[in-house]
Amino acid sequence: MAEGRCRDLPPEIFFPSDGVGVEVARRYCAECPVKGPCLEYALENHIEHGVWGGASERERRRIARSRRSVRPHAPAATSRAATS
Ligand code: SF4
């Protein structure tokens, strides 16, 4: 957060109440040098509110769901490689 573009901006910008506000926050995040780590932090810590790493609450839920659905297949690929 110390390196983020939001560090000198009012926090309210990143906790919008509508889609227009989300777009405003995302524009700041799009040019942020720590966008990737910011998004990962929010996902790992299950932060539900606000725009983090350029992703809204809904988008983060979608990313988390997508990752959960992919992970169960990873060990199978590893064990298959071990037997060949
Ligand atoms: S990605 Fe957005 S919320 Fe995260 S540090 Fe950068 S400006 Fe702040």
| Domain range list for the chain | 5-83
Task: State the pLDDT at residue 42.
Answer: 98
Residue 38 to residue 29: CA distance in whole angstroms: 9
pLDDT at 83 over 60: no
Question: Which of 29, 56, 59 to mutate to test ligand 1, by most ligand atoms within 8 A of the CB atom?
Answer: 29
Residue 31 token pair? 């040019």
Residue 12 token pair? 């309210």
Confidence tier at 82 by pLDDT (50, 70, 90): very low
Q: How many CA atoms lie within 13 A of 36 on its CB side?
A: 1
Average pLDDT, the chain: 89
pLDDT at 4 over 70: yes
Confidence tier at 81 by pLDDT (50, 70, 90): very low
Strand partners, 52: 55
Question: Which of 14, 15, 23, 57 to mutate to test ligand 1, by most ligand atoms within 8 A of the CB atom?
Answer: 14
- Look up tokens 């919008």; give the residue: 16
Each residue's pLDDT tens digit, 50-78? 999 999 999 999 999 999 998 765 555 44
CB 43 within 8 A of CB 77: no
3-state secondary structure of 51: coil
